[in-house]
Every structure is written in structure tokens, then in C-alpha cells.
């Protein structure tokens, strides 16, 4: 049987704009709580949130922002991020998400590459002085106005609306296929690419991601994942607003104890995170003392979930219906997801099955032919969720990059190696560029990582290939050991693996580390790990 599958076609796709969908929710659930910002204690019902979104939308119109103009946002998670997301959507401005971890070089690149006219920015976050960084680069960009949050700039933007701006008229000009969002994907080589997404892309993906975990207006979702990325703003915010559920912002950045306290105090029914966030929560001091009994569901994504972590999610965090989702920014993001009633095997060994209204297939990376089920190949997907293209949409630079990623038949080539099982559920076995070829044997680091997680002293592990004169590549395991455990060395790891893994899959090198180099979205930077491993081992 071939490795291809098509998702359910019911319920129908939402053929409306984000603004229209939001107003439909407001009409149905106006007096229900829409947004809670724990840090400030501020709360909004849907009716109140809509009024504040409209005020900001009119302020942006009064500032001269037209349909298709780019409005940048550079801030950690906060209520104003959410307000800006919905206000720009209502006026047809393209929101440009800027990673809070960026420094001046990356900030200037994103502002210039997207052509941002107005920038909404925090003044600071953690050790970053955003104001001074903006001042340093803004002169060399097309930005005409900077609005700093929590300053008179923000009040002035809202106050400028005269009431004459025809917001309803502007909303009527918009179509579901219009581009509404640019998200920069952290390239492992060269500059990041700006994936351009439409109302249809992200509204539907948020809706179907939360539909799959049985969301309703009764749900309250803790969102500790960043808004600047699809996980926060699409699966989180749009997932909630398309169902009348409550968005709860625990803190500007992820903090395990604040997230646990928020779940307890706000009686959250769901929580999102990458596996490292769930590991941090489960290992937080006093974890057992928090009352997490309100939890039912959530989504883990960003990288595969270790079996032991999933077991604790279900047993210790009450997440009986927690779901695994897989995707990429260019696909809005989710392409596959486990279902609420899936067994433990499907929730830990797989990334789920094809999403509604989406098609997936696994192809031979060399020939492009669809492989048989059970065989590894490149994961490809197509459907409503595939991005409009890389920005800029109307010139050769963006078009050429888009053609590299999306083939003539509309299939997005993800660069991920996957296997589709007989039951249609998929597993990721690595990135095409992470696959290690040792003496002619193809090795998928994920398989070795899953095995090493079963060692009682291993808290987290990542495996990469390093150069080797004899075999071309050898394996190096980066291991974080549990607190209080005795240090492991390569001999101990080899002894543990001998007789259980084929000899060529046993790591030759072991590095004990406190942390892994990560992107802000919780993906491990294996390129950086390979370089550092080679340097530390003198290879």
C-alpha cells in the first residue's frame, strides 16, 4: 500500500476572513471571557476584546495603514500582541512577526525584507533593550512610525482614531485568500525566509487543530508558547477564538512554575508546549503540589515526544486527551495530529494522521516516487494549509524560493524524513540533512534518542553525526543527566546499548551538557551541535 493519505472533509473549511470569524464568535459568546493576561491581571470578555480590537484597527487606519501594508510586531507574549493580531487582520494589513530573540542585524533584515511601515515594539524583554536596538536600525529601514508598548505612543495610536474610519467598509474589501501574516522561518543556512500566510491558511488551521482536541466555548487554554510563532498565534489564539474559548497568557516568556500556577488558578482545561516545556514543568520544584485536575487536553509539538514524558502528561498532569501535532510554518502549521482517543502507542510513537482537508504522502527524496507504507522518505503535504509563498510574493527572489519548496502540483516538500505506518499514522525519523550515514548505513538519530531515553539517569538526549575518517560519520550523543545521577561516559552508554542496538547505532562519543542549543520555538539546533561536537572532540 502506498504512503499517501487524505484527511476528512467534514466539517467544511471556514471560507471567511479572520475578522469575520472573530465577529461571529463575539456575536455568539460576547459575555464569555476571551483573554486573560496573568502578569497584569487584565481580563476581557469577547465583547470587550472586540471593542479594543476595533479601536486599535481604527487607530491603524488613521495612521494611514492600507490593505496589504506591513505592520511589524516585536514583543514577547502580551495582551497587546493579541490585539494587534486581530486589528491588523480586520483592516487587511499583513502582520510581520518578529522573533523576540532577534538582535539588531536580524531585526534590520526582517524590517527591510518585509517592508514594514509601522512597527509595534516592546521597550524591553529579559536582557534585551528593544528601544535602543530599534533606534539603532530604524533609520536604515522603510519604517515610518514606531509604537512602543506601555508608552504614550500606544495611547496616541488609539486616540488618533476619529470614528470616521470605515472599518466595516475595509473589512468588506477583504477575501479569505488575501495574505495576512509573514512569519520568518529560522533558516539553518543563510537568512530566514518569510513564509506568507493567508486568512484561509491560518484561520482554518487554528480551527481544525482545536476541533481535533474537541475544543468548545467551555475551554480555557494556557498559552506559554510564543505568539510570534504559529504555535501561539494560530493554534493558540485562532484555535480559541474560532471556538469561543478563553486565551490565557501565563507570562511574557515561558516559566514552568508560573505556567503550573496559572493552570491551577485559572482552571485551565488545556496547555500547549514543546516537549522541553513539559519536561521543565514535570521537573519543577513542588510540581506535585499544584492542582492540575482541571486539565483535559493540550498539544505537544515542535519535536517528537519522549514516551516517558507523555506517560507523565497523562498520569501526573491529567492530560488524558493530550495531542501530538506536526507541521511547519509554511503549512500554517499543522499537517498531522493524533486524535483525543488515540492509544499511548499512537501518541508517543507517531505524529498522528493526516489533518482534515489536507493530503500527505511520503516520497523517495531522490526520485520523487511515493514509497510503500513502512518505508522512509520525505514527508510532503498539500491543501488549504500550504502558504501563499515566500515574501516578497511578486518578485523573482521570493518566487524562486517558493518553487524550491512547493512543486508544480502544489506539494510542500518539508525536508523531514518520515514513515507512514499501515494504519496511516506517521513517524518522523529525522531531517534529510540530519540523517547520519556511517559506513554506508543510514542511521536516524531519533531512533537512538528514543532508546537512550529509557536509561534511568538520562533526562534528555540528542544525537548528531560527527566527521570520522574511517566511516565518514560517527554518532555523538549529547546527554543531560537527571539531578543526583552519577555522570555517564561513553563506556557506560555503550554497555547500556550493547545487545540492544546494532553495533553501528551505538554512539562512539558522549558529551554531558546542561542544555542544548535551541531555536526560540524549542527546536534543537543540530547544525550548531554538530559543529560544537567536532570542535570539542577535536575532529
Residue 532 lies in a domain: yes
Structural domain range at position 513: 436-536
* Domain CATH for 165: 3.40.50.980
Which three-class secondary structure string do you get for 39-65? Answer: CCCEEEEHHHHHHHHHHHHHHHHHCCC
Residue 276 counted as domain residue: no
Q: Last residue of some domain: 138, 171, 204?
A: 171
What is d(CA 84, CA 199) in angstroms, rounded to the nearest whole number? Answer: 15
| pLDDT cut 90: percent of the chain above it | 79
Find all residues with CB under 8 Å of 508, minimum gap 6, and list them: 468, 474, 475, 476, 490
Tens of pLDDT, residues 394-442: 888 888 999 999 999 999 999 999 999 999 999 988 778 787 888 877 7
Per-residue pLDDT, 431: 79
pLDDT of residue 435: 79
Characterize the bridge pairing of strands 441-443 and 436-438: antiparallel
Give, in order, the Cα–Cα distances in Å from 410 to each of 190, 384, 386, 392, 406: 25, 10, 8, 19, 6
* DSSP secondary structure, 420-477, as one string: E-TTS-EEEEEETTT-EEETTEEE-HHHHHHHHTTSTTEEEEEEEEEEETTTEEEEEE
Burial of 510 (0-12, 13-18, 19+ CB in 10 A): buried
The pLDDT of 522-537, averaged and rounded, is 89
pLDDT, one tens digit per residue, over 461-483 is 999 999 988 888 899 999 999 98
pLDDT value at position 296? 98
Tell whether the torsion through CA atoms of 77, 79, 82 and 83 is positive or negative: negative
- Total domains present in the chain: 2
The verdict on residue 57 lying in a domain is yes
CATH of the domain at 468: 3.30.300.30
| Residue with the larger pLDDT of the pair 135 and 191 | 135
Q: Which whole number is the average pLDDT over 198-220?
A: 98
| Half-sphere CA count of 485, side-chain side, radius 13 A | 16
Q: What is the mean pLDDT of residues 274-293?
A: 94
Confidence category of residue 520, pLDDT binned at 50, 70, 90: low
Angle at the Cα of 203 from the Cα atoms of 518 and 109, rounded to 5 degrees: 45
Domain boundary among 152, 171, 190: 171
Say if strands 323-327 and 297-300 run parallel, antiparallel, or are unpaired.
parallel
At residue 218, the pLDDT reads 98
**Are 446 and 453 within 8 A, CB to CB?**
no
Question: Does residue 83 form part of some domain?
Answer: yes
Cell 478563553 belongs to residue? 246
Cβ atoms of residues 331 and 386 within 8 Å: yes
Under 8 Å between Cβ of 340 and 484: no
pLDDT at position 189 is 45
Residue 254's closest CA among 98, 530, 38?
38
Query: Tens of pLDDT along 20-44?
Result: 999 999 999 999 999 999 999 999 9
Does some domain include residue 40?
no
Q: Are 299 and 326 in contact (CB under 8 A)?
A: no
Give yes or no for a cis peptide into 429 (omega within 30° of 0).
no
> What region, left, alpha or beta, does residue 410 occupy, with left being phi > 0 and alpha being psi -120 to 50 degrees?
left
Q: Write out pLDDT tens, residues 93-107.
A: 999 999 898 889 889
98 neighbors 72 (Cβ within 8 angstroms): yes
Assigned domain for 222 exists: no
Element (H, E) at 527: helix 526-536
The answer to whether position 225 is within a domain reads no
Predicted confidence (pLDDT) per residue in 323-336, tens digit: 999 999 999 999 99
pLDDT tens digits, 329-357: 999 999 999 999 999 889 888 999 999 99
- Boundary-marking domain end, from 171, 196, 218: 171
Distance CA(179)–CA(310), nearest Å, equals 36
State pLDDT tens for residues 507-516: 999 999 999 9
Q: Is residue 195 part of a domain?
A: no
Amino acid at each position: 500500500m502506498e504512503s499517501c493519505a487524505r484527511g476528512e472533509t467534514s466539517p467544511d473549511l471556514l471560507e471567511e476572513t479572520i475578522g469575520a470569524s472573530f465577529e461571529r464568535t463575539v456575536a455568539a459568546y460576547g459575555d464569555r471571557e476571551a483573554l486573560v493576561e496573568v502578569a497584569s491581571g487584565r481580563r476581557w470578555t469577547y465583547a470587550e476584546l472586540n471593542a479594543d480590537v476595533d479601536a486599535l484597527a481604527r487607530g491603524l487606519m488613521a495612521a494611514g495603514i492600507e490593505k496589504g501594508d506591513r505592520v511589524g510586531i516585536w514583543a514577547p507574549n502580551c495582551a497587546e500582541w493579541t490585539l494587534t493580531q486581530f486589528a491588523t487582520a480586520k483592516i487587511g494589513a499583513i502582520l510581520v512577526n518578529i522573533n523576540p530573540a532577534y538582535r539588531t542585524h536580524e531585526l534590520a533584515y526582517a524590517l527591510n525584507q518585509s517592508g514594514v511601515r509601522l512597527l509595534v515594539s516592546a521597550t524591553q524583554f529579559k536582557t534585551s533593550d528593544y528601544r535602543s536596538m530599534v533606534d539603532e536600525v530604524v533609520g536604515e529601514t522603510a519604517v515610518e512610525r514606531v509604537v512602543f508598548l506601555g508608552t504614550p505612543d500606544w495611547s496616541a495610536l488609539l486616540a488618533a482614531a476619529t470614528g470616521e474610519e470605515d472599518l466595516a467598509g475595509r473589512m468588506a474589501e477583504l477575501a479569505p485568500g488575501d495574505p495576512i501574516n509573514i512569519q520568518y522561518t529560522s533558516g539553518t543556512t543563510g537568512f530566514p525566509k518569510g513564509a506568507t500566510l493567508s486568512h484561509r491558511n491560518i484561520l482554518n488551521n487554528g480551527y481544525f487543530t482545536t476541533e481535533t482536541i474537541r475544543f468548545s466555548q467551555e475551554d480555557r487554554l494556557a498559552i506559554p508558547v510564543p505568539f510570534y510563532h504559529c504555535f501561539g498565534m494560530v493554534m493558540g489564539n485562532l484555535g480559541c477564538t474560532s471556538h469561543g474559548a478563553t486565551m490565557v497568557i501565563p507570562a511574557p516568556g515561558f516559566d514552568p512554575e508560573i505556567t503550573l500556577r496559572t493552570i491551577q488558578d485559572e482552571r485551565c482545561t488545556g496547555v500547549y508546549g514543546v516537549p522541553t516545556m513539559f519536561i521543565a514543568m514535570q521537573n519543577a520544584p513542588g510540581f506535585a503540589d499544584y492542582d492540575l485536575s482541571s486539565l483535559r487536553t493540550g498539544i505537544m509539538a515542535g519535536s517528537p515526544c519522549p514516551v516517558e514524558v507523555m506517560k507523565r502528561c497523562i498520569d501526573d498532569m491529567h492530560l488524558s486527551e493530550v495531542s501530538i501535532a506536526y507541521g511547519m510554518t509554511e503549512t500554517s502549521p499543522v499537517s498531522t495530529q493524533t486524535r483525543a482517543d488515540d492509544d499511548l502507542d499512537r501518541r508517543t510513537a507517531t505524529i498522528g494522521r493526516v489533518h482534515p482537508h489536507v493530503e500527505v504522502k511520503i516520497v523517495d527524496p531522490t526520485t520523487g516516487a511515493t514509497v510503500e507504507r513502512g518505508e522512509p522518505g520525505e514527508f510532503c503535504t498539500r491543501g488549504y494549509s500550504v502558504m501563499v509563498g515566500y515574501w516578497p510574493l511578486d518578485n523573482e527572489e521570493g518566487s524562486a524560493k517558493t518553487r524550491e519548496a512547493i512543486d508544480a502540483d502544489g506539494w510542500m516538500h518539508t525536508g523531514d524524513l518520515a514513515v507512514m505506518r499501515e494504519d496511516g499514522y506517521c513517524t518522523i525519523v529525522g531531517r534529510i540533512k540530519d540523517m547520519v550515514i556511517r559506513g554506508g548505513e543510514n542511521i536516524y538519530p531519533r531512533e537512538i534518542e528514543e532508546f537512550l531515553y529509557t536509561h534511568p539517569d538520562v533526562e534528555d538526549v540528542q544525537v548528531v553525526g560527527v566527521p570520522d575518517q574511517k566511516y565518514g560519520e560517527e554518532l555523538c550523543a549529547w546527554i543531560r543527566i537527571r539531578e543526583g545521577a552519577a555522570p555517564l561516559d561513553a563506556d557506560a552508554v555503550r554497555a547500556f546499548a550493547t545487545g540492544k542496538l546494532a553495533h553501528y547505532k551505538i554512539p562512539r562519543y558522549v558529551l554531558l551538557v546542561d542544555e542544548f542549543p535551541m531555536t526560540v520555538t524549542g527546536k534543537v539546533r543540530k547544525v550548531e551541535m554538530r559543529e560544537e561536537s567536532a570542535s570539542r572532540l577535536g575532529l
